[in-house]
Amino acid sequence: MSRFSTVHEALSSDRMVTLAHRGASSYAPENTLPSFDLAIQHGVDFLELDVTLSSDGELVVIHDPDVDRTSNGTGAVLDLTLGQLRTLDFGAGFSQEFRDTRIPVLQEVLRLAKDRCLLDIELKIDTKRPHLCTDTPRRPIDGSQCTRLVDTVVRAIDDFDMCDQVLLSGFSREALSTVKSRYPRVVCGLAIAEKDIRNSVSFAGEGEMELVFPQVHSGTREYLSFVHSLGLKVFICVFDAHRDVVRDLASAGVDGIMANNPDILQGILSRVSKS
């Protein structure tokens, strides 16, 4: 269970925040309920997950623009209804132990996490950044569709009375600007992929966002000092947590670390804090 009851409490704390990247994705299929439940059992502060729309407008939890890598099916998520997506197996490709695991909708994750773990929901609508895990390009989403995704996500969060337990993130400046203009109470974090990070950090600060998610190579004292001077927090994803990387980021002053193996991450951090 998270050590924090609200996102604002986590961001105002001096303690290192821990995040589970797509759940405990080293041990269970990414972005599935088993992965999220295991991460909660590991005591992580935040679950990180990816959300987009199915062809019939349902909020499905998946990272890629297609289902090819993570299921036994093929095709773009935007071309498939929730019913079609639910027929696919999102677990057997990881391990037969998870055979017949289905794609979750956001509401199922909200129900699982409520009052147990905070959520970092990444809005998957970016079209300009090269995709990290598949050759399939993400289909362009226009402004009205972007607004539709934002509105639908925030409506779901409000239905569960979890606005203070959720932050929204992503690479899309348009999406996060839409969130802040329509729902200023929602905490937002800008993910940064490019090497010229100062422009993005300035954009986040000017857009009244609360934090940024840069790449791991940006976790230097100089960079963190610049970001903190703008009143922003810094969370960095290390994917698989290793002692030296986690120790260096903690020493440099990063505010939160995200990993596929949150149990290992927390073990390293506990030893770092005692040294």
Q: What residue numbers bound the domain in which 240 lies? A: 7-274
Whether 2 maps to a domain, the answer reads: no
Residue 164 maps to a domain: yes
CB atoms within 10 A of CB 73: 16
Domain assignment present for residue 212? The answer is yes
Q: Would residue 200 count as lying in a domain?
A: yes
Tell me if 1 is assigned to some domain: no
Look at residue 68 and tell me if it is in a domain.
Answer: yes
Is 80 domain-assigned? yes
135-157: pLDDT as tens digits:
445 555 556 889 999 999 999 99
Domain count, the chain: 1
pLDDT at 129 over 60: no
Decide if 106 is inside a domain: yes
Q: List the one residue out of 194, 205, 63, 84 whose CA is nearest residue 134.
A: 63
Q: What is the average per-residue pLDDT within 258-267?
A: 97
CA 239 from chain centre, in angstroms, equals: 12
pLDDT band at 274 (very low <50, low <70, confident <90, very high): low
The number of beta carbons lying within 10 Å of the beta carbon of residue 68 is 16
C-alpha span between 21 and 263 (Å, rounded): 12
Q: How confident is the model at residue 128 (pLDDT cuts 50, 70, 90)?
A: very low
pLDDT in tens, 231-258: 999 999 999 999 999 999 999 999 999 9
Under DSSP, is residue 147 helix (H, G, I), strand (E, B) or coil? Answer: helix
The pLDDT tens digits for 158-171 are: 999 999 999 999 99
Average pLDDT over residues 22-43: 98
Q: Do 203 and 173 touch, CB atoms closer than 8 A?
A: yes
Tell me how many degrees the CA angle 162-46-241 measures, rounded to the nearest 5: 170
Q: Is 270 exposed, middle or buried (0-12, 13-18, 19+ CB in 10 A)?
A: exposed
CA angle 177, 249, 263 (to 5 degrees): 90
User: Among residues 18, 79, 1, which one has the least CA distance to residue 268?
Assistant: 18
Predicted confidence (pLDDT) per residue in 36-71, tens digit = 999 999 999 999 999 999 999 999 999 999 999 999
Can you give the CATH number for the domain in which 144 is found? 3.20.20.190
Task: Give me the pLDDT at residue 131, please.
Answer: 38
Q: Are 47 and 19 in contact (CB under 8 A)?
A: yes
Query: What is the average pLDDT across 162-181?
Result: 96
Structure tokens at 103: 């794609």
